[in-house]
Amino acid sequence: MTLACLLCGAPQCGLAAAAKTQAASKKAPKKSAKKRTATRRRRRVPPPPKVSAAQKSASAEAVKTHVESALDFGFQNPAALIPFFEVLYRHKEGAQGPVRVLHFGDSHTASEEWPGVLRSHFQNEFGCGGPGFVQAGKPYAGFRRFETKAAMSRGWAPSGLLAREGDGLYGLAGVSVSTRMSGETLGLEANGERLQVFYYRQPGGGSMTLSVDGVEVDTIQTAGPAGAGYYERHVAPGTHRFELRTGGDGEVRIFGWVTENQRGVTWETLGINGAQADLLLGWNENLLDEHIEQRDPALIILAYGTNEARRTDWSYETYKAAFGRVLARLRAAAPAASLLVIGPPDQGVRARGKWVPHDGVDRIMQAQRDAAIEAGAAFWNARSSMGGKGSMKQWVYAGLAQGDFVHLTAPGYKLLGETLYGLMMETYSVFATFRRQATGNITHGSSSQNR
């Protein structure tokens, strides 16, 4: 079974089609496969060190012991998750509307492995809300969302990502694609009964035609006063093929799509390889606020710190201040949402021919934790759940992390996602128990007074 098959047990999410597409792509002619490889710049990862079967087994057992004790560590300031849990509880009781989660982060998040595991479990438990927000096209090499299939013609130019300079008009995910050419296309195959297109409205903006399942259904005009633009359309439940085609009568700038169902959870992956948390401070505030308000999330997750730990110019004080500004900005944009900060995983650095724990993680993680508590956010120490400082070595030996001692493997990310899901549901279960008791007490008290 492929990892994509694990990502959502709910058949209405359209993953069967995605799995078939991935299987078909593996059977593509060798010539085209070689062409794709030649045009991508892949991160070079050193091979993991060779270990004996006994070392691998012992490391796997140690990792298992650590993750099983993750519940003992729990969240710091778990009360910050109550608004999210309340929305989930009401959803279980029949409340309408999707429950949306925005998951910002770096390459660990952009990999889609552990957000995908969380999405799968939450959608199995609370219903499949569809993909939610998905970045337009393929904004960078290796971009993926497991439950969707994206397409983009060659005439689109991405902007944003790691850019520290620019107009900052990058939207919810920190990236947009634009073109002035005629006949350029963006495609998305995804599940949902509600479609939205997030675009930039601007003076002299061009037009696009929208097709659904191969049939042209509408023309979208992006000209107008500068600001966030939205197009919305309802379609029949199920998986659809959407396509936008430019008219060439002005610049068109697209941030992404939304496809979602009337009920269920959406877990929206907003990761950028190499990103640091303060990158969000360079995105146009009004535009980002409007996009977040449009998504109306119940939970916002920030999962950064790996790249910051390797920078020597971040002190505890400067990073805490910057991270606090990011949290304040998100809080202002979504005052009713819960905020969850996930500390960076453990990582190693090469020193004198040996892999040793990277001390920078200590400084960044402490700054994140303190800023989160001050901002009223919950905090999860992912490194403690891995086994603490220096645990990356065990994860590498167990085959759960890559040879760079920074990134996990697919099974490692899945384990991380399973661990976080277990912790979240354990905490939710406690909340739900008290919630039911409180509701029962209120009902009982009212009945007594009526009698």
Q: What is the CATH number of the domain that holds 272?
A: 3.40.50.1110
Same domain, 184 and 213: yes
370 and 319 Cβ atoms separated by less than 8 Å: no
Same domain, 238 and 373: no
Give me the pLDDT at residue 13, please: 52
What pLDDT digit, counting tens, does each position of 194-252 carry? 999 999 999 999 999 999 999 999 999 999 999 999 999 999 999 999 999 999 999 99
pLDDT at 133 over 90: yes
Tell me whether residue 3 is in a domain: no
First to last CA, the chain: 59
Tell me whether residue 19 is in a domain: no
Give me the pLDDT at residue 441, please: 55
- CA-based angle 346:351:352, to the nearest 5? 150
What pLDDT digit, counting tens, does each position of 326-381 carry? 999 999 999 999 999 999 999 999 888 889 999 999 999 999 999 999 999 999 99
Give me the pLDDT at residue 403, please: 94
Same domain, 315 and 366: yes
Q: For residues 392 and 406, give the distance between their C-alpha atoms in angstroms, rounded to a whole number.
A: 8
Same domain, 287 and 428: yes
**pLDDT, mean over the chain:** 89
In CATH, what number is assigned to the domain containing residue 161? 2.60.120.260
In the block, tokens 């509307």 appear at 97
What pLDDT digit, counting tens, does each position of 387-426 carry? 999 999 999 999 999 999 999 999 999 999 999 999 999 9
What pLDDT digit, counting tens, does each position of 264-313 carry? 999 999 999 999 999 999 999 999 999 999 999 999 999 999 999 999 99
φ/ψ of 129, rounded to 5, equals: -85, 0
Q: For residues 11 and 131, give the distance between their C-alpha atoms in angstroms, rounded to a whole number.
A: 13
Q: How many structural domains does the chain have?
A: 2
Same domain, 57 and 84: yes
Give me the pLDDT at residue 3, please: 32
Range of the domain at 192: 134-260
Detail the DSSP E strand segments found in 41-172.
Answer: 97-105, 132-135, 149-152, 157-160
pLDDT at 125 over 60: yes
Same domain, 417 and 271: yes
Alpha carbon 265 to chain centroid distance? 13
What pLDDT digit, counting tens, does each position of 12-42 carry? 454 433 444 444 444 444 444 444 333 445 5
Same domain, 298 and 175: no
Same domain, 365 and 409: yes
Tell me whether residue 316 is in a domain: yes
Torsion, CA 368, CA 106, CA 13, CA 175, rounded to 10: 120
Give me the pLDDT at residue 118, please: 98
Question: And the tokens for 406?
Answer: 């920074």
Give me the pLDDT at residue 45, please: 74
Residue finishing a domain among 238, 260, 282: 260
Written in H, E and C, the secondary structure of 228-297 is EEEEEEECCCCEEEEEEEEECCCCEEEEEEEEECCEEEEEEEEECCCCCHHHHHHCCHHHHHHHHHHHCC
What pLDDT digit, counting tens, does each position of 139-183 carry? 998 899 999 999 999 999 999 999 888 899 999 999 999 999 999
Give me the pLDDT at residue 4, please: 34
Tell me whether residue 90 is in a domain: yes
Count CB neighbours of 405 within 10 A.
22
Same domain, 296 and 403: yes
Residue finishing a domain among 205, 227, 260: 260
Which strands, in side-by-side order, build the sheet including 149-152? 149-152, 182-191, 239-247, 207-212, 215-221
φ/ψ of 204, rounded to 5, equals: 80, 10
Alpha carbon 118 to chain centroid distance? 10
Residue finishing a domain among 206, 228, 260: 260
Same domain, 241 and 336: no
Give me the pLDDT at residue 60, please: 92
236 and 69 Cβ atoms separated by less than 8 Å: no
Same domain, 327 and 345: yes
Same domain, 276 and 399: yes
Give me the pLDDT at residue 77, please: 97
Give me the pLDDT at residue 68, please: 87
What pLDDT digit, counting tens, does each position of 32-80 carry? 444 433 344 555 778 888 889 999 999 999 999 988 887 777 899 999 9
